[in-house]
Amino acid sequence: MKPKTVTNIIDDSESNKVLIVTNANHTISDTESYSLYVFTGLTASRYLYFPTCTSHPGKEFTVINDTGTYNVICTPSGTDAINSYNAAVDITELHGWWKFKSQTTKWRGITDGNSTVYYDELVTDFTVSNATTATWYNITGLSLSLPVGIYLVSGHTSYIYIADTDEVLTALFGISTVSGNFLPDIDVGACIGVWHGAVFAGAGGEGSLPDKKYTATEAKTLYGKMYGSTGAGTITLLSCIATDYKPAWIKARRIA
């Protein structure tokens, strides 16, 4: 039997349960019984409008974005919610999918974890001159705006550079929902620097922040942050070092 894939599923014996939606919005009617909706050929983001949960208890279906670039926006009806609090789900990635099941007053949604990815990167250095010792700074140009949802958040920077007058150098990279000079509330990675030359200067090794689960109960912005401290000297320069071939980045993969 031919394996089911996005490209050949319409030829399968169960093709009557599949609806191919070509570059259009679609509203699920009360009489529909499709188990799979495949959005293809998109030239703009398109919407899939759900029926009411109360009229369809136990209804299940899967939605696939077969184009990428543009989103498939899965939209519940009225006061129905996805996973209790989500007003809608965007499927952003090529071949990304979500599966939904009606639970009387809400939709339960599950995904592969790669269906909705938010990403930002910094490809040029960002520097703070005469930086205050032991203070966190936003990395200008490195932030994400997230809708309500549950995410796996991660980040990476090639290194954080410090110039100062003391050999004890600690550089930190972090991700936070709070802007300004505050300790990051999601995750922090440490890079211990080294010193050299007439003026002490250090560059920590690559700083990576592994996946950490984060729940946004309201729309949030994530900020990339950097920090530098010394034993006794004054920091004169603090930089996040980034290039187009080795950027600093933060990413949020929506999982529910």
Unique residue bearing structure tokens 């789900």:
89
pLDDT of 38 above 90: yes
Question: What's the rounded Cα separation, in Å, for the pair 5 and 136?
Answer: 48
Which tokens go with 86? Answer: 């989500």
Q: CATH code for 9-115?
A: 2.60.120
**In this predicted structure, what is the pLDDT of residue 149?**
82
Which tokens go with 161? Answer: 């550079």
**In this predicted structure, what is the pLDDT of residue 66?**
93
Under the banding of pLDDT at 50, 70 and 90, the label for residue 71 is very high
Which one of 3.30.70.920, 3.40.980.10, 3.10.20.30, 2.60.120.760 gives the CATH number of domain 118-254?
2.60.120.760
Domain boundaries, the chain: 9-115, 118-254
Which of 22-31, 73-82, 85-94, 146-155 is least confident?
Answer: 85-94
| 9-115 shares its CATH topology with 118-254 | yes
**In this predicted structure, what is the pLDDT of residue 14?**
47
pLDDT digits (tens, 9 = 90+) for 236-246: 888 888 888 88
Under the banding of pLDDT at 50, 70 and 90, the label for residue 195 is very low
Unique residue bearing structure tokens 């994530």:
222
Segment 49-69 mean pLDDT = 90
**In this predicted structure, what is the pLDDT of residue 203?**
54
Mean pLDDT, rounded, of the chain: 82
Under the banding of pLDDT at 50, 70 and 90, the label for residue 208 is confident
Question: What's the rounded Cα separation, in Å, for the pair 204 and 131?
Answer: 17
Cβ–Cβ < 8 Å for 54, 78: no
Pick the more confident residue, 232 or 82: 82
Which tokens go with 84? Answer: 């209790």
**In this predicted structure, what is the pLDDT of residue 79?**
86
Q: Which of 2-6, 22-26, 131-135, 169-173 has the highest mean pLDDT?
A: 22-26
pLDDT of 12 above 70: no
Under the banding of pLDDT at 50, 70 and 90, the label for residue 231 is low
**In this predicted structure, what is the pLDDT of residue 36?**
95
**Residue 53: beta bridge partners?**
none
Pick the more confident residue, 214 or 159: 214
Question: What's the rounded Cα separation, in Å, for the pair 235 and 245?
Answer: 28
pTM of the model: 0.71
